[in-house]
Structure 1
Amino acid sequence: MPYLIFVSLLWAFSFGLIKGQLAGVDSGLIAALRLGLCFITFLPLLFWQRGNRNALVLMALGALQFGVMYIAYIQSYQYLPGYLVAVFTIFTPIYVFSLNAILEKHFHYQHALVVLLSVIGAAIMVVQSVNHESVLTGFLLLQVANLAFGCGQVLYVRYCRSDPAANTDKPSSDGVNMIWMYLGAALLASSYTIVFGDFERMSLASEQIWVVLYLGVISSGLGFYCWNKGATQVSNTTLAVMNNAYMPFAVIFAFTLFGEEVDFTRLLLGGGCIILSVALSVLMQKRYDSYR
């Protein structure tokens, strides 16, 4: 849980930073640079643990969880205003929970209600009246992004739990897993940018370079590592609801650090629902463990 809480704070801050500092830069370039920096940051770990017989599997997982997610997420901005992007990202917990239920062939309706509570809480904070063209296209693109990120989390957890060679108890082993995932994602994002990128918007000012370095090394590199590490340490339900845990923090940072207007009634109601969903998921897991 501490890993997931830390990343929720990290990503909540990053949303405002992207909006304020990288407007006008080709989004594909930003994604490719961030994922490339992720790979470079973790590359030295190969000196401690060389090779991985499942490198191709991990590259495919990374291309799905990070590469496909970023590409679809980026494309959605061509069809949606920013607030609707936030609205349509709230469904990731449903995908995480549903995929786990399908793979485990067992459905817990109580856990489903907890996940639904998390989605309702996020919706309370970000949903506004929809009045924009091409909403359906943008919505579908974001569901591709949500599904890719959610499936990547679930499949990585199952990979680590089923393959002793993953050995995620050792930070270096877990880091080597992420190297290959970042490489797969970076290759996919770079290929997309080369083919579909807007080369007229691929220049960066000096301050923007620092922002990209922070986003690539800290927000994405450290963030994705800690998220996947944390995902292996919590229940499926807790992992699902934590996918919306960044939203209360994002709203708070938007007000305190970036001077945006905030509806405090929505913040309290929505944030309360999310906090309650997380608490219930942890309580359910403790109760389940006590009966084992």
Structure 2
Amino acid sequence: MWRLVAVSIIWAFSFGLIKGKLTGLDSGLVASIRLILCFLCFMPFIFKVSQQKMRLRLMLLGIVQFGIMYLAYIQSYQYLPAYLVAVFTIFTPFYVIGLNIIFDKNSRNAKALTVALGAVMLSIAGAAVIVFKAPGQDEFLMGFLILQVANIAFAIGQWNYQRWADQSSNAGNMAWMYLGAALFASLFSFPQLSWSEIVISDEQILVLLYLGVIASGLCFYLWNSGSKQVSPATLAVMNNGYIPVAVIASIVLFSEDVDVVRLAIGGGLIFLSVVISYKTRIAASAA
């Protein structure tokens, strides 16, 4: 659980950095650089996974969870302001729980399903209270649809990783996933770039290093390994756990106007949803 909380805190700073510091850079280039940095960080662990079949499976999973997700996620910033990117990521828990209901017959137990859906709804309600504003751009629908592709890809990746990835080789798992994602993103975006026109400032290089090594490389490792230690309901809820911290970061670091009352109410709802799902998991284990 502590891994998911730590990642939520770190991820909270990414919205402002991407929108404020990387404007003007091609979205495919940004996604590819982040994923290449991820792979380089975990490359020393690549031989921890020895089975060829597992390597291929992890690469395919990485293409979905990180490659498709990042290409869509970064592209959505071309159509949406940062606050709407935050708004539209609140639907990810629906996809996580939906996958669980469809493919895991044990989750169809009426009591477990009610608790899971209740916790997710509380989380989504809390996130919406904090960040929802009426869209102010004509292109918001396109941004919304693109971002839902990212949300679905991320949900599919973490849901599958939680169930079949080997807990003893998380670092090796991530190396192969990042390799697949980096190759996919690079092959998709690099041929479309006008390399002679690309200019990256020193500040943008530092931001890319932070996002690639810390916010992506380290945090996705912690997130996927942490996902194996919590219930599907808690995992779904924690997909919105970064939002209260993101708002606090916006107040302190990015000087954005925030409704403190909405922050308190929404943060309380998200915290309550985490408590409910986590306590339910403990009770179920004890039974």
Q: TM-score, normalised to structure 2's length?
A: 0.93
Which aligned pairs between 1:21-36 and structure 2 lie closer than 5 A? 21-36=21-36
213, 216, 223: which one aligns with 1:220: 216
SS in 1 for 2:258: coil
**C-alpha distance in 2 between matches for 1:201 and 1:270:** 43
Aligned pairs, number: 281
158, 161, 171: which one aligns with 1:156: 161
Q: Hey, what does 2:234 align to over in structure 1? A: 238
Same amino acid, percent of matched pairs? 53
1:70-99 Cα offsets, whole Å, 9 max, x none, are 111122233333322221111001100110
**C-alpha distance in 2 between matches for 1:264 and 1:201:** 43
Q: Hey, what does 1:122 align to over in structure 2? A: 127
Which amino acid is 2:255 matched to?
Answer: G
- 1:112 equivalent to 2:113? Answer no
199, 206, 218: which one aligns with 1:203: 199
**C-alpha distance in 2 between matches for 1:100 and 1:211:** 35
Contact between 1:29 and 1:202, CA under 8 Å: does it hold in 2? no
Q: Hey, what does 1:266 align to over in structure 2? A: 262
- Structure 1 residues 290 and 275: CA distance shift in structure 2, 3 A: same
Task: Tell me how large the CA RMSD over aligned residues is.
Answer: 1.6
**C-alpha distance in 2 between matches for 1:144 and 1:183:** 21
Between 1:250-259 and 1:34-43, the stretch displaced more is 250-259
- Structure 1 residues 184 and 46: CA distance shift in structure 2, 3 A: closer
Between 1:224-233 and 1:194-203, the stretch displaced more is 194-203
Q: Hey, what does 1:65 align to over in structure 2? A: 65
**C-alpha distance in 2 between matches for 1:50 and 1:123:** 40
Which amino acid is 1:261 matched to?
Answer: D
Alpha-carbon shift at residue 140 of structure 1 (Å): 1.4
1:40-86 Cα offsets, whole Å, 9 max, x none, are 11111236x36333111000000000111111112223333332222
**C-alpha distance in 1 between matches for 2:261 and 2:51:** 50
SS in 2 for 1:89: helix
174, 189, 199: which one aligns with 1:193: 189
Which amino acid is 2:267 matched to?
Answer: G
Alpha-carbon shift at residue 28 of structure 1 (Å): 1.4
1:221-279 Cα offsets, whole Å, 9 max, x none, are 00000000000000010000000000000000111122221110110011111000001
- Structure 1 residues 181 and 65: CA distance shift in structure 2, 3 A: same
Contact between 2:58 and 2:176, CA under 8 Å: does it hold in 1? yes
249, 253, 266: which one aligns with 1:253: 249
Between 1:210-219 and 1:177-186, the stretch displaced more is 210-219
Alpha-carbon shift at residue 197 of structure 1 (Å): 4.1
Q: TM-score, normalised to structure 1's length?
A: 0.91
**C-alpha distance in 2 between matches for 1:52 and 1:188:** 21
Which amino acid is 1:52 matched to?
Answer: Q
SS in 1 for 2:138: coil
Contact between 1:25 and 1:201, CA under 8 Å: does it hold in 2? no
Q: Which runs of 5+ in 1 are unaligned?
A: 161-165
Contact between 2:46 and 2:173, CA under 8 Å: does it hold in 1? no
Runs of 4+ residues deviating >6 angstroms: none
Contact between 1:89 and 1:146, CA under 8 Å: does it hold in 2? yes
Q: Which runs of 5+ in 2 are unaligned?
A: none
Contact between 1:26 and 1:198, CA under 8 Å: does it hold in 2? no
